Amino acid sequence: MLRWGLVATILAPTPDILRFAAFHLDAGAHRLYIYLDDPNADAYGPLKAHPKIRVQKCDDAYWLKIGGKRPAKHQVRQSKNATHAYHRKTEIDWLIHMDVDEFIVCDQDVGTVLYDLADNKLCARLRPMEQLVGSGNAFKAFIPNGPNRIPTVQEIYPEFGKYVKGGFLSHIAGKLFVRTDQENMNLRIHNVFEGDLSNPQQVNLTNIDLAHCHAKPWKEWLESFNYRLDKGSYRSDLSPAIDGDLSLHDLFRNLLDTEGDAGLKRFYDEIAMDSPALQTRLKAHDLLRNANLDLDVKLARHFPDFT
C-alpha cells in the first residue's frame, strides 16, 4: 500500500494545529511531521501521543543539532525543517510540505492518485483554491496561466483585480508532493531541488485541490496584516500581478496612506468576502468550488481528549 505524509512548520493556536493534523489523518496520511516553531506550544502533548505523528520542538538545542542557530526568516525555517523531515528514516512514499491553513481535498483516495503516477515522476503539484470568508464552504478556484487569466480576474474583481495574481490574496503556486528516497533533494515552500535541478519530472495533479484558508474574518485578518505586509504574503519583494503596475504591497501602502483601514476594508470586501454577487461572477467562469472541511468533527474523532 502506498503511504503518504506531510511536513509543516507551525506557529499557531493549539486548536488550529490539531484541526490541521486531524483533517489530514482523516484524509489518509500515514505520517505527519510537525515542527513547532514555538517550542513551548501546548499542542506538543496531544501530537506526541498520536502514533502517526512525529513532533519536534524547534528550540535552540534542535537548531544547534541540525547545524546552527535559529534562522531569522520563517521561510528559511520552513525549508530547513521540510528538508530535515524528507531525509529522516523513510516511512512514506510521498511527502508534501504544507502550512497550517492548507488542506488536501480529493474525491478519491490520495494514496491511489499518487500510486497511479508513472515511476519516473518525482514531484506532483497541487494547485490551490482559496476560501471565501463566510460560511467557510465556498472557494475560488485556480485560474491556469494564459491570456485569459488577467481579463477574467478583472471581470470578477472590477476594482482590485489587477493587483491580485489569479484573484488570490495568497499564493497561486500551490504545493508539491515529492517522491521520497532521492538523495540530493532539498525542499522549499513551493518548489523542490534535486541538486541544481528544479522540480524534477514534475506532473500537475488536476484531481486534488489544496484548500487554502488564508483570509480570516475581518478583525483577525487585520491583526495579521502588518506581519504579512512586512514579512509574509504581502511583502515588498513579491512581484506585481501585472508587470509595470503596483504590487499588492504597494497597493496596500497606498490604501493605508490615503484611506487607512477603510481602504483595506473596501479591498477585503471585494476580494475575500463571500457574497451572492461574487458567487454569481465566479459561477459565470466555472470558478466557484464548494468543500466542507468539517474540521471540528475530525478534531473530535482524532483528538477526543482535547475536545
CATH number at residue 105: 3.90.550
- Residue 237 in any domain: the answer is no
- Residue 185 in any domain: the answer is yes
- Residue 8 in any domain: the answer is yes
- Residue 236 in any domain: the answer is no
Grid coordinates 525555517 are at which residue? 77
What is the rounded (10 degree) CA torsion for 149, 153, 155, 160?
Answer: -140
- Residue 231 in any domain: the answer is no
Domain that holds residue 185: 4-217+290-302
Do 139 and 88 form a contact (C-beta atoms < 8 A)? no
Do 119 and 196 form a contact (C-beta atoms < 8 A)? no
Do 99 and 143 form a contact (C-beta atoms < 8 A)? no
- Residue 251 in any domain: the answer is no
What is the rounded (10 degree) CA torsion for 60, 72, 176, 250?
Answer: 160
What is the count of structural domains for the chain? 1
Do 143 and 134 form a contact (C-beta atoms < 8 A)? no
- Residue 69 in any domain: the answer is yes
pLDDT at 1: 81
Q: Mind listing the pLDDT tens digit of every residue in the chain (307 residues)? A: 899 999 999 999 999 999 999 999 999 999 999 999 999 999 999 999 999 999 999 999 999 999 889 999 999 999 999 999 999 999 999 999 999 999 999 999 999 999 999 999 999 999 999 999 999 999 999 999 999 999 999 999 999 999 999 999 999 999 999 999 999 999 999 999 999 999 999 999 999 999 999 999 999 999 999 999 999 999 999 999 999 899 999 999 999 999 999 999 999 999 999 999 999 999 999 999 999 999 999 999 999 998 7
- Residue 110 in any domain: the answer is yes
pLDDT at 68: 87
Number of H helices, E strands in the chain: 11, 13
